[in-house]
A and B are shown apart, each in its own frame.
Chain A
Amino acid sequence: MSETIRIKGRAEWPGKVTAEALVSPIPIEGFANVDDVHGYITERYHPLFKIPYEGKILVFPSPRGSGGFMKFGTGKIPAAYVHRRGNTLSDACIMCARVPAMTDFETDPLSVIETGDTVFVNADEGYIEITKKEK
């Protein structure tokens, strides 16, 4: 059985969900650089260009760009948000999506989670649990 890693953090929106992680190594941008009908990033040359995030745990360092960041929380949405840092851009996005969300972790989640890992987000009890994918 694979090892699981638990990291404590601050819950932004309550709830529990387990899903596969989709990790953006760089900040993500909403408004015209995301397509919420398809649920993917349209920013040219972005590492997650056109990779659907619906139903995934969307893991990213921080939001960037305009107030249209909230489009990550409308239309096709992730199962949960896990991010290193946030501001009012991610706050409004999470309020639109109303799915579990966490930030301000004791260990940087981006140093642990890779795309394809299984992540249990337990925002009710303030931690995430990562099961690494089989290599």
Chain B
Amino acid sequence: MYLSDDEKRLLDGAEGFVRQRCMAYLVELATVSGAERMVDLDGTTDFHVPTTALVPEYLFPIEELRKIVDEGAVFKAPTFANKAPFYGATFVDGWEGCAYPPHNDPAHHAKAMQPDWMELYVRMGLITTYSCASYLASSYWPSVGQHCAWNESSAVPYCNAVLGGRSNIDGSFASSFLAKAPYSGMHVPENRLATVVIDTERLIQTDVEWDVLGFAVGEECGLDVPALIHTAKPTTTQYQKFNTAANTGGSIAMYHVPGATPEAPTLEWALGGKKPAREVRFDEAHLKKTYEKLNDHRGDTVEMVSLGCPHYNLVDLMLLSRKLKGKKVKVPVWIMTVPALYHTAEQLGYKKIFEDAGAVLLSGTCPAAIAGVPGGIRALAVDAAKQAYYISGLFPEADDHLDVFYGTQDDCVDAALTGVWRGEWR
């Protein structure tokens, strides 16, 4: 593997212990992935705070971090926080009303926010977006062609496909601190070209259609880069949904919507002038089957509703506030958003509308990240393929079953107001 003189110095330990561990981590990652060199990041990064490394071998204690922060160390890349501090991943805002012990306990909340670590990270320049959708709240989006290291699977296609940045799922303390990543995967221009063309019998235009299409494309394409043809032009919400579902059904870091995403003015451009390896057309039966796979319930009684996976943007919150204004929900309703947007939603009056309806606005996490739902809940309705898929995996025991209902935001609102599921693939 080629390493520059500066990279060799870091690896040799000439720049101190923490930088040595970070460089060693990146070299090991590059070796496993087959990369032949590093790329210097000129874009943004995110990682799961406060973990200094997701690979145990490279963890280092807070004392080592404090030492370098006191010496003036900063993150070399603009760095964002992926969700609330791990591994508790508690709610950042709104926790007082969540009715989910211990998350509504002030002492638990204070501790779970990991203040010792976070004080140091903020001094290093960490921007505490605390969200799977940091891109909704960060003012420093990568521009087309910038190299990034994002760690949130649902956000990485937003970086690559929607913004034209270049990232694998490789955000870490090391990549943020040194602003480096192995030159592999989506950092390499030719790997970003589409090899599979996806067409659909129905015109994909609603939020749930984009979500279900995302899951189906993930299952079909695995690690390949698809080009989606004959769809309507996606909204921001629909990009979010497609990305999140595609990285649940499969591992889609990059895709193209010719005429909409920045690296594909045309289908030919998306394919790099080559013939696709395969062309696939999803018929109605295929999408219906995908939708039904995401629904796994024995009855039609809904005991709780969770909305916002990935975290809702402001338009999602605005539309939901219209649907809940003046209404009363029959079951607990959690609405997940980005901490920065929580406060905007409060100023705009949405939070009050939700509270008056009996719903709770929360930020920074989700049931899957917290790894559960309040005790006694046996039937959960969600409006996201990703949440449906992960929350069901947390309840594998036959005697501890969780019914999972998946559908549109409207279906979930109806279930919240009636306690009954009436959603179906329409």
Chain A residues within 8 Å of B, Cβ to Cβ: 10, 12-13, 27, 29, 31-35, 42-45, 49-50, 61-67, 70, 74, 85-89, 91-92, 94-96, 98, 101, 104
Contacts and interface: CB of A to CB of B under 8 A. Distances in A.
Q: Which 4 residue pairs across A and B have the least CB separation, nearest first?
A: A33-B393, A42-B396, A32-B390, A66-B153
Contact of A63 (B184, B251, B368): B251
Interface stretch (B49-57, B123-131, B233-241, B279-287): B49-57
A104 B184 CA distance: 15
Given A67-B151, A98-B57, A31 B222 contact: no
Contacts of A63: 251
B34 A87 contact: no
A27 to B, nearest CB: 6
B249 interface: yes
Contacts of A35: 396
Nearest to B391: A32
Contacts of B55: 70, 92, 95-96
A13 B169 contact: no
Interface centre among B57, B152, B390 (most CB of A within 10 A): B390
Given A31-B368, A74-B56, A64 B396 contact: no
B382 to A, nearest CB: 13
Interface string B378-408: 0000000000011111101000000000000
B251 A62 contact: yes
B32 A65 contact: no
A27 B394 contact: no
Contacts of A62: 222-223, 251
Nearest to B389: A33
5 contacts: A32-B390, A44-B392, A45-B293, A49-B396, A98-B57
Given A27-B251, A62-B222, A95 B32 contact: yes
B377 to A, nearest CB: 16
A44 B393 contact: yes
Contact of B222 (A27, A66, A95): A27
Contacts of B223: 62, 85-87
A96 B170 CA distance: 14
Nearest to B394: A32
Contacts of A13: 32
B258 interface: no
A27 B54 CA distance: 22
B253 interface: yes
B134 interface: no
A45 B54 CA distance: 29
Bin the interface of chain B by size.
35 or more
A70 B56 CA distance: 11
B78 interface: no
Nearest to A49: B396
Contacts of A34: 393
Contact of A64 (B29, B57, B251, B393): B251
A44 B32 CA distance: 30
Contacts of B332: none
Given A10-B34, A63-B251, A44 B368 contact: no
A29 B265 CA distance: 33
B307 to A, nearest CB: 18
A75 B391 CA distance: 21
B250 interface: yes
A42 to B, nearest CB: 4
Contacts of A85: 222-223
A74 B56 CA distance: 9
A104 B32 CA distance: 12
B371 interface: yes
A35 to B, nearest CB: 7
B296 interface: yes
A29 B393 CA distance: 10
B160 interface: no
A74 to B, nearest CB: 7
A42 B394 contact: yes
B44 interface: no
A96 B154 CA distance: 22
Given A33-B393, A95-B28, A64 B56 contact: no
B94 interface: no
Contacts of B251: 27, 62-65, 87, 89
